[in-house]
Amino acid sequence: MTIHDGVRDLEGGIKTDFSTSMDYGTYLDLDTLLSAQSPVSRPEHHDELLFIIQHQTTELWLKLVLHELRAVREYLDADRLTRALKTLSRVKHIQRTLAEQWSVLATLTPAEYAEFRSVLGPSSGFQSYQYRAIEFLLGNKNARMLEVFAGTPQHAELEALLHEPTVYDCFLRLLARRGYPIPDSVLQRDVAEAWVEHPELLPVLKTVYEDVDGHWDVYEACETLVDIEDAFQFWRFRHMSTVQRTIGFKRGTGGSSGVGFLKRALDLTFFPELISVRTEIEDLRD
C-alpha cells in the first residue's frame, strides 16, 4: 500500500468490478434495509430517525436471540450441553449490546421526543412479537398476550411457542436423562403455563452447588442461565429508566401505565430455583 498526497492507493488485488458477481450491498440487501426507515412526522422531525433505528436494530438483535435460543433447545434435547453453553454465551453478548443501546436512545430529550411522540399513535414496543417469543422460550408465558397479535401472521407462531417446552424445561429433561432425580411434577408440567418456582427442585440443585467439581458442566449451565436472567433484568431496567427520563410517568403509547408497567416486569423471573438454591447451600468451609 502506498499513500500519495494523503490518499491511500487501492491494493492491486481489490475487486472493483461487480457486474457479474455479488457485492457487499447485494448480499446484505442494503437497498431494502436502508430504505426501511420511514419517519411519519410532518415536517419530519430530526430525532425520529434515531427512534426508528433504535427499535429496528433491537428487533434485529432479538431475531438473532430467538434463532440462538431455538438452537439451544435443540442442543439440550440432543444432550449436547457444551454446544448449548457456547450458544448461550453468544446470547449473553447480544444482551450486553441490547442493554448498551439504551444509552443512545437516552440522548433523546423529553422536549425532543414530545415533538413527534403523538405520531406513533397506539404503536408500542409492548407489541413486539419477538420480545414475547423470547419470554415464552425462557418461561414467562402468558396466553393473554396472544390477543395482542390476533389477526397477524405471528399469532400462530407465538401460539405454537406457548405450547412448546422452554429452554429451562429442556435443561431439566437433560438432567433427568443423566440420572438426576428431577421430580415427575416438573417433567410432566403443562409447558403452556408460566414457570413458577418448584421447591422440590432445590435438593437436586443443592447437590450440584455443593459439589461443583463433581457436577461441573451442570453447574456451569446453571450459572450461565443465571447470567442470562441477570442480563435480561438489566435490559428491562435500562428500558424502564430510559422511558422514565424521557416521558416521566405518562401512559405508554400502547395504553400501558408506562414506567409503572415496566417496573412490575422487574418482578418476573425465569429460573427462580437457581436463585433460591443459594439460600440452601451449606457453608462448606470448616
CA distance 47 to 53: 10
CA distance 269 to 229: 7
Q: Label residue 151 left, alpha or beta by phi (over 0 means left) and psi (-120 to 50 means alpha).
A: left
75 is in an annotated binding site: no
* pLDDT mean over 193-207: 97
For residue 248, pLDDT over 60 is answered with: yes
> With bands split at pLDDT 50, 70 and 90, how would you rate the model's confidence at 212?
very high
117 is in an annotated binding site: yes
Closest to 125 (Cα-Cα) out of 267, 269, 252, 249:
252
pLDDT at 267: 84
134 is in an annotated binding site: no
Q: What is the DSSP string of 113-176?
A: HHTTGGGGTT--GGG-HHHHHHHHHHT---GGGGGGGTTSTHHHHHHHHHTSPPHHHHHHHHHH
**Residue 68: is it exposed, middle or buried by C-beta count within 10 angstroms (0-12/13-18/19+)?**
middle
Over residues 112-144, the pLDDT tens digits come to: 999 999 999 999 988 999 999 999 999 999 999
For residue 3, pLDDT over 70 is answered with: no
52 is in an annotated binding site: yes
Percent share of the chain, pLDDT over 90: 83
pLDDT at 265: 83
Closest to 81 (Cα-Cα) out of 210, 166, 161, 178:
178
For residue 177, pLDDT over 70 is answered with: yes
Residue 105 C-beta-side C-alpha neighbours within 13 Å? 25
189 is in an annotated binding site: no
Give the DSSP H/E element, type plus range, for residue 4. Answer: strand 3-4
Do 137 and 231 meet the contact criterion of CB atoms below 8 Å apart? Answer: no
Beta bridge partners of 8: 3
55 is in an annotated binding site: yes
Over residues 23-73, the pLDDT tens digits come to: 999 999 999 999 999 999 999 999 999 999 999 999 999 999 999 999 999
Which DSSP state fits 3?
Answer: E
CA distance 161 to 191: 10
The cell numbers describing 208, all together, are 450440584
234 is in an annotated binding site: no
* pLDDT mean over 246-268: 86
CATH for 46-280, options being 2.40.50.140, 1.20.58.480, 3.30.70.1340, 1.20.1440.120: 1.20.58.480
pLDDT at 282: 82
pLDDT at 260: 85
270 is in an annotated binding site: no
CA distance 193 to 43: 47
Give the global pTM. Answer: 0.93
> With bands split at pLDDT 50, 70 and 90, how would you rate the model's confidence at 2?
low
CA distance 231 to 99: 8
For residue 284, pLDDT over 70 is answered with: no
56 is in an annotated binding site: no
